[in-house]
């Protein structure tokens, strides 16, 4: 009896497995069909550079729904902004699921998941200089067949250069960027200091002097109520690279991308970062610990900040509530040095293992060409576009001609002020994430020479694996 | 004659059936435990054995930068790791951390266990409170401590300010970061280790302690001459467990300090993770992991030798 029931049980399990296999294979078939339909839809939308589907031409079929995942950073206000709804107007069958995380966690997710061969996320943000590293690891799908020559020519050349590796275009640029000095005009007036004009460029020495005068500790508890100055992205390499390069332009790593000793711990770097550390320690004009510079500025607790053009949007959105006037001017530089500004920004890449290639490419194409570029600035207004035509549109659009929106013109003008890209080397991820820990240490009181010497050793230890 | 043949055949068949039944019974009896163990064994194979074998294999290959670039390199990854100053710095930090952390955790766990083993009034409430950290996941507890010890908004700095002590930087400076991690890990580690001590204490026969008391032994004498020697096995277990847990400590470093400031909390497990998972150096990371496993094995071996019991 027992053996009979066991046989029955085995039979049932086998039947169940067969049914599951059939259902799964049916699903697999659907997915393939999905991709074909998406390919057709993309063809219709772009009319070039895409494969055609003859069968679908003969009998137009309704595209089947497909959902792609987009790994992105959590501080982008995309949800409910209306941006994706613009995309859905053109691609109603594609749903974009956002997977938002912090920047560093996103780097890890790309390394672990995409590097491990996972098919999702289908699309992910690429910090422009990481294109080389991702390209070396084969994590990105080439996008050369996605864009027309005209669309490629519309990007700033530096954006195309940094998005390419090994002769292939691997990451399409969303942004380019720069940094400007934002100041609280009322605080300047109260301190009797004349702020810099919109087309004026202060030196870091002038900033230091003004910051000391603008820092106010009313109750004398050692914690100022108003801080004089801070960087918006306090410890990020993107924002801080111009400091040492202003003193000695323009090397941040050796030409072969393998050594940093003697460069990042050279005299000019130590001098620049000793000054940086003094802001938080000896001078006490900038706060230590986990804080948000932009929030302190908006709440009237920060007199000056060096920040990106996206802050124009954030400030304009709440300007009525601030209760103070503010202004913008050019990126500072060291008195004995030269003008150097940061540039480049986020790109979009398609996971080399995606199973929804056509839909992913359609999203990347739409996002990083003119319609998407304008929609992005209209709805999200995060940084400046990497497309020249979109920035020209911003420069001439009437809605952006009034203050404070016209501040964006100052930022667009700054794009030509000796912009320096971050080094597009294969070990950029190691380089940037490690050097930022040294910046954090210096900010928290570590000696600049000691911190930079140690991190040079650390970085070279990581880069050694790329040695031929 | 024919009847006899049939009789013989019938009895042969029935004895065959008997043997078969017995065999099936034995077979069923023997198979059952293995079948019951199968799910656990399968999980063990997938999540423990396979990764271990994979790590050993990976340590002999080049960095997995691209799928085509994988190449057997013998012991090259090991020589690279062993000649890497950062690896040795990380190992040194790990040893310092363990030398501070393990004695603190074991000593305080024993003290708390002795207190909880007493029959004082309200001890059951105190026992419940002490157990709370065990129920909290490492990620949650680490995040809580990170918030509480925040330089600007942490409640600990608020409390220090009330008694006139200036704000402390805790995780921000190399002089305090490792000690701060010790606090975070001890909060969970002490109650966990305490449970084993408490169980050990409750196993000690009351009659032995009472006999000692009748013989005039003081409480201290009873503790040092009777309780502690009887806890030797528990000590060995707690020490080994605590050593393993602390040598492979990861969550607080990953969530709070990322190995900083200035590598002062760069414990070896985090260094291994970062190399392999963040920077894609799977060969180097695997080689490092194997060296760590060997070191852990040596340390545990020494501990077993030191705490060997004769019985």
The per-residue pLDDT for range A110-144, each reduced to its tens digit, is 988 998 889 999 999 999 999 998 998 899 999 99
Q: How far apart are CA A50 and CA A35, in angstroms?
A: 13
Q: Does B58 touch chain A (CB under 8 A)?
A: no
Whether the pLDDT of residue A5 is over 80: the answer is: no
Distance of CA B200 to the CA centre of its chain: 19
Q: Do B263 and A289 touch (CB under 8 A)?
A: no
Whether the pLDDT of residue A54 is over 60: the answer is: no
Tokens standing for A220? Answer: 């004398």
Same domain? A240 vs A304: yes
How many CB atoms sit inside 10 A of residue A16's CB? 10
Q: Does B281 touch chain A (CB under 8 A)?
A: yes
Q: Is residue A287 part of a domain?
A: yes
For a pLDDT cut of 90, what percent of chain A falls above it? 62
Count up the domains in chain A and report the number: 2
Q: Residue A181 pairs with which residues in a beta bridge? A: A306, A329
Q: Return the number of CB contacts < 8 Å for A and B.
A: 80
Show Cβ contacts of residue B216 under 8 Å, excluding neighbours closer than 6 positions: none
Residue B3, pLDDT score: 54
Task: Please give the residue of chain A at the shortest CA–CA distance from B277.
Answer: A112
Same domain? A360 vs A249: no
Whether the pLDDT of residue A50 is over 70: the answer is: no
- Give, rounded to a whole angstrom, the gap between the first and last alpha carbons of chain A: 69
Whether the pLDDT of residue A2 is over 90: the answer is: no
Q: Is residue A50 part of a domain?
A: no
Q: Do B66 and A111 touch (CB under 8 A)?
A: no
Is the distance from CB of A66 to CB of A95 less than 8 angstroms? yes
Residue B288, pLDDT score: 94
* Nearest residue, CB atoms, B152 vs list A115, A290, A430: A290
Q: How far apart are CA A130 and CA A116, in angstroms?
A: 17
Question: H or E stretch including A327?
Answer: strand A326-329
Crossing angle of helices A2-46/A357-367, nearest 10°?
Answer: 30
How many CB atoms sit inside 10 A of residue A266's CB? 18
Whether the pLDDT of residue A95 is over 80: the answer is: yes
Same domain? A350 vs A455: no
Per-residue pLDDT of chain B (311 residues; tens, 9 = 90+): 455 556 666 777 777 778 777 777 666 667 888 888 999 999 999 998 999 999 999 999 886 554 456 788 999 999 999 999 999 999 999 999 999 999 999 999 999 999 999 877 888 888 888 889 999 999 999 999 999 999 988 999 999 989 989 889 999 999 999 999 999 999 999 999 999 999 999 999 989 888 988 888 888 898 999 999 999 889 989 999 999 899 889 999 999 999 989 999 999 999 999 998 888 888 999 999 999 999 989 988 888 888 776 55
Is the distance from CB of B186 to CB of B101 less than 8 angstroms? yes
Q: Does A289 touch chain B (CB under 8 A)?
A: yes
Residue A115, pLDDT score: 84
Tracing tokens 């007493």 back to the chain, one arrives at B118
Question: H or E stretch including A123?
Answer: strand A123-127
Same domain? A221 vs A323: yes
Q: Do B279 and A430 touch (CB under 8 A)?
A: yes
Average pLDDT, chain A: 86
Q: Does B277 touch chain A (CB under 8 A)?
A: yes
Same domain? A81 vs A145: yes
Q: Are strands A123-127 and A66-73 parallel, antiparallel or unpaired?
A: parallel
* Nearest residue, CB atoms, A446 vs list B87, B261, B283: B261
Whether the pLDDT of residue A188 is over 80: the answer is: yes
Q: Do A289 and B281 touch (CB under 8 A)?
A: no
Tracing tokens 């003081």 back to the chain, one arrives at B218
Q: B147, B278, B283, B286: best mutation site toward chain A, by most A Cβ within 10 Å?
A: B278
Tokens standing for A459? Answer: 């970085």
Q: Does B76 touch chain A (CB under 8 A)?
A: no
- Which CATH number does the domain housing residue A381 bear? 3.40.190.10
Q: Do A462 and B275 touch (CB under 8 A)?
A: yes
Q: Do B169 and A440 touch (CB under 8 A)?
A: no
Tell me the chain A residues in contact with residue B150 when contact means C-beta distances shorter than 8 Å: 289-290
Same domain? A322 vs A186: yes
Q: Does B233 touch chain A (CB under 8 A)?
A: no
Select from A376, A407, A438 the last residue of a domain: A407
Beta strands in A40-108 (DSSP E): 66-73, 94-101
Whether the pLDDT of residue A204 is over 90: the answer is: yes
Whether the complex's predicted ipTM surpasses the cut of 0.90: no
Beta strands in A30-169 (DSSP E): 66-73, 94-101, 123-127, 164-165, 168-169
Q: Does B176 touch chain A (CB under 8 A)?
A: no
| Residue A261 lies in domain | 180-342+427-466
The per-residue pLDDT for range A303-347, each reduced to its tens digit, is 999 999 888 877 877 666 678 889 999 999 999 999 999 988 899
């Amino acid at each position: 009896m027992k053996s009979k029931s066991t046989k029955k049980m085995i039979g049932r399990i086998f039947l169940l497995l067969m049914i599951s296999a059939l259902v799964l294979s049916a699903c697999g078939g659907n997915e393939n069909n999905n991709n074909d339909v998406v390919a057709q839809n993309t063809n219709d939308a772009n009319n070039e550079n895409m494969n055609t589907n003859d069968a679908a031409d003969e009998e137009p079929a309704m595209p089947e729904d497909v959902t792609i995942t987009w790994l992105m950073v959590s501080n982008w206000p995309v949800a409910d902004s209306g941006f994706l709804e613009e995309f859905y107007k053109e691609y109603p069958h594609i749903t974009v699921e956002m997977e938002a995380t912090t920047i560093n966690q996103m780097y890890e997710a790309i390394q672990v998941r995409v590097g491990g061969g996972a098919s999702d996320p289908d699309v992910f943000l690429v910090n422009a200089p990481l294109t080389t590293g991702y390209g070396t690891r084969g994590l990105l799908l080439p996008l050369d067949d996605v864009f027309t020559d005209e669309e490629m020519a519309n990007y700033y050349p530096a954006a195309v250069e940094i998005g390419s590796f090994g002769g292939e275009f691997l990451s399409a640029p969303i942004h380019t960027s720069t940094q400007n000095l934002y100041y609280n005009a009322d605080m300047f007036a109260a301190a009797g200091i004349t702020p810099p004009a919109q087309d004026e460029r202060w030196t870091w020495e002038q900033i230091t002097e003004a910051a000391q005068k603008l820092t106010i500790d009313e109750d004398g508890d050692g914690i100022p109520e108003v801080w004089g100055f801070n960087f918006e992205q306090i410890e990020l390499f993107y924002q801080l690279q111009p400091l040492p390069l202003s003193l000695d332009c323009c090397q941040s790593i050796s030409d072969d991308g393998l050594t940093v000793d003697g460069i990042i711990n050279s005299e000019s770097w130590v001098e620049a970062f000793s000054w940086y550390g003094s802001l938080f320690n000896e001078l006490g004009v900038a706060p230590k610990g986990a804080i948000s510079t932009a929030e302190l500025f908006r709440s009237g607790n920060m007199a000056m900040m060096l920040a990106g053009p996206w802050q124009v949007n954030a400030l304009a959105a709440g300007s009525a509530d601030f209760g103070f006037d503010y202004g913008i001017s050019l990126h500072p530089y060291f008195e004995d040095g030269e003008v150097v500004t940061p540039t480049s920004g986020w790109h979009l890449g398609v996971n080399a293992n995606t199973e929804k290639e056509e839909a992913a490419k359609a999203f990347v194409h739409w996002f990083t060409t003119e319609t998407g570029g304008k929609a992005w600035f209209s709805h999200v207004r995060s940084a400046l576009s990497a497309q020249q035509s979109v920035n020209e549109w911003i420069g001439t659009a009437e809605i952006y001609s009034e203050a404070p929106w016209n501040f964006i013109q100052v930022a667009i003008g700054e794009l030509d002020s000796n912009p320096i890209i971050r080094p597009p080397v294969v070990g950029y991820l190691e380089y940037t994430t490690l050097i930022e820990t040294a910046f954090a240490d210096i900010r928290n009181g570590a000696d600049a020479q000691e911190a930079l010497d140690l991190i040079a050793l650390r970085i070279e230890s990581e880069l050694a694996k790329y040695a031929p | 004659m024919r009847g006899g043949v049939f009789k013989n055949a019938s009895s042969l068949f029935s004895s065959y059936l008997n043997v078969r039944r017995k065999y099936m019974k034995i077979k069923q009896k023997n198979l059952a435990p293995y079948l019951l163990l199968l799910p656990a064994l399968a999980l063990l194979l997938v999540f423990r054995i396979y990764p271990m074998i994979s790590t050993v294999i990976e340590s002999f290959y080049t960095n997995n930068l691209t799928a085509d670039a994988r190449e057997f390199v013998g012991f090259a990854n090991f020589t690279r790791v062993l000649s890497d100053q950062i690896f040795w710095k990380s190992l040194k930090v790990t040893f310092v951390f363990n030398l501070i952390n393990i004695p603190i955790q074991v000593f305080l766990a024993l003290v708390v266990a002795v207190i909880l083993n007493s029959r004082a009034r309200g001890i059951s409430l105190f026992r419940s409170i002490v157990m709370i950290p065990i129920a909290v996941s490492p990620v949650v507890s680490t995040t809580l401590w990170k918030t509480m010890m925040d330089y600007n908004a942490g409640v600990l700095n608020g409390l220090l300010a009330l008694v006139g002590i200036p704000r402390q930087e805790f995780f921000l400076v190399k002089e305090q970061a490792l000690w701060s991690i010790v606090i975070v890990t001890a909060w969970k580690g002490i109650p966990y280790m305490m449970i084993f001590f408490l169980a050990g204490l409750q196993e000690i026969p009351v009659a032995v302690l009472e006999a000692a008391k009748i013989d005039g032994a003081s409480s201290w004498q009873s503790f040092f001459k009777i309780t502690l020697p009887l806890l030797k096995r528990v000590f060995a277990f707690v020490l080994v467990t605590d050593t393993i847990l602390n040598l492979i400590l990861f969550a607080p470093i990953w969530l709070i300090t990322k190995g900083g400031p200035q590598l002062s909390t760069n414990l070896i497990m985090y260094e291994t993770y970062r190399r392999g998972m963040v920077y894609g150096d799977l060969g180097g990371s695997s080689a490092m992991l194997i060296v760590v496993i060997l070191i852990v094995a040596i340390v545990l071996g020494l501990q077993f030798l030191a705490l060997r019991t004769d019985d």
